[in-house]
């Protein structure tokens, strides 16, 4: 089976470099018309450049179709204008990859709240802005694919990235509910946790691994998750050609002998025991498992 994006219009935010550029190039190579969004800032989100236009030139040189957009994901009106331009030129928007991001790393003890807010604003609120701008169009079309970009930091934590981790797990949570709300409109919403050597990770990647961890090695998982055959409501990890699935699991738990914190302490081993754990497909399923537990199942 060949995965084609012919006749699809895709928006990739933060596609002026790194992972977003790799996604945009591969989408275009497989036939998509691509909006390359990027304000072209530095790693901490300050400044501007023509990074998006350069990627558009690369796509066009390879025979593909693309347009540049210099809007900031933090500005809802700019995201709405970007979507309107794409629809005017190409008649719709089918795919949105929320990829734009910045870093303001510091241990939480030293982190100014301004740096917390800035990171949450770009990653989490920025993804919500771009998604809000395309959502109605995708519902009307009854076809949409949206990808959120989480991170191992969001899923599992990383020293010095409290702001980034909060935003990134927020994105995985955002995707969960959108996947449920979008299901009957054929809108599928997934999350990727990439690992790649880009300017974002250049200080931490050992030189000998740079070659293996090129952004192009993450693109296959990202493209699968926005394709016709994409699943919905999944979290995939991807890096260096290895693709993994991440789950938020729930244990069977324990029925407390009495409603006290002492009972929780006494029964903690049973509460945490992973035997028979499940992966609920919605929040409501957790409530159902509580009812089942009370009925002795």
Beta bridge partners, 147, equal 97, 190
Nearest distance, CB of residue 194 and ligand NAI, angstroms = 5
Nearest distance, CB of residue 66 and ligand NAI, angstroms = 15
Name the 3-class secondary structure at 256: coil
Nearest distance, CB of residue 56 and ligand NAI, angstroms = 13
Chain residues binding ligand NAI by CB under 6 A are 13-14, 16-20, 37-41, 43, 45, 51, 72-74, 99-102, 122, 126, 149, 151, 194-196, 198-201
Q: Do residues 199 and 182 touch, judged by C-beta distance below 8 A?
A: no
- Measured CA to CA, the distance from residue 52 to residue 209 in angstroms comes to 27
Nearest distance, CB of residue 200 and ligand NAI, angstroms = 4
Question: Which of the following is catalytic: 23, 164, 185, 247?
Answer: 164
Both tokens of residue 93?
């928007």
- Measured CA to CA, the distance from residue 258 to residue 253 in angstroms comes to 15
- Based on CB atoms, which residue is closest to ligand NAI, 100 or 221? 100
Nearest distance, CB of residue 149 and ligand NAI, angstroms = 4
Angle at 241 between CA 239 and CA 243, to 5 degrees: 70
- Based on CB atoms, which residue is closest to ligand NAI, 37 or 137? 37
- Residue 247 falls in the annotated catalytic set: no
Q: Do residues 120 and 72 touch, judged by C-beta distance below 8 A?
A: no
- Measured CA to CA, the distance from residue 250 to residue 274 in angstroms comes to 8
- Based on CB atoms, which residue is closest to ligand NAI, 9 or 222? 222
Do the bridges between strand 187-194 and strand 235-239 make them parallel or antiparallel, or are there none, so unpaired?
parallel
Q: Which residue has the CB atom at the shortest distance from ligand NAI?
A: 18
- Measured CA to CA, the distance from residue 58 to residue 131 in angstroms comes to 26
Nearest Cα to 147, choosing from 5, 13, 282? 13
- Based on CB atoms, which residue is closest to ligand NAI, 125 or 256? 125
> Which residues, other chains included, contact 198 with Cβ-Cβ below 8 Å and sequence gap of 6+?
17, 18, 19, 215
- Based on CB atoms, which residue is closest to ligand NAI, 42 or 282? 42
Residue located via tokens 């069977």: 252
Residues with a catalytic annotation lie at 164
């Amino acid at each position: 089976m060949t995965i084609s994006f012919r006749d699809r219009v895709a928006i990739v935010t933060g596609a002026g470099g790194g992972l977003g550029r790799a996604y945009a190039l591969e989408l275009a190579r497989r036939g998509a018309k691509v909006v390359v969004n990027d304000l072209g800032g530095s790693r901490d989100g300050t400044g501007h450049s023509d990074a998006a236009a350069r990627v558009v030139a690369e796509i066009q040189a390879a025979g593909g179709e693309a347009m540049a957009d210099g809007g900031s994901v933090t500005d809802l009106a700019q995201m709405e204008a970007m979507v309107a331009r794409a629809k005017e030129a190409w008649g719709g928007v089918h795919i949105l990859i929320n990829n734009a991001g910045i870093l303001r790393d510091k241990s939480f003890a030293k982190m100014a709240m301004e740096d917390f807010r800035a990171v949450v604003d770009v990653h989490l609120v920025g993804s919500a802005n771009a998604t809000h701008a395309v959502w109605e169009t995708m519902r009307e079309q009854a076809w949409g694919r949206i990808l959120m970009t989480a991170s191992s930091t969001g899923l599992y934590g990383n020293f010095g990235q409290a702001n980034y981790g909060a935003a990134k797990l927020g994105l995985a949570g955002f995707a969960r509910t959108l996947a449920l709300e979008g299901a009957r409109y054929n809108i599928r919403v997934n999350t990727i946790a990439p690992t790649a050597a880009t300017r974002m990770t250049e200080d931490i990647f050992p030189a000998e691994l740079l070659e293996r961890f090129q952004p192009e090695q993450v693109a296959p998982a990202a493209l699968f998750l926005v394709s016709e055959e994409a699943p919905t409501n999944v979290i995939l990890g991807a890096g260096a050609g290895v693709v993994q699935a991440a789950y938020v699991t729930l244990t069977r738990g324990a029925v407390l002998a009495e409603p006290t914190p002492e009972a929780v302490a006494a029964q903690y081993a049973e509460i945490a025991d992973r035997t028979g754990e499940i992966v609920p497909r919605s929040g409501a399923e957790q409530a159902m498992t509580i009812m089942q537990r009370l009925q002795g199942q």
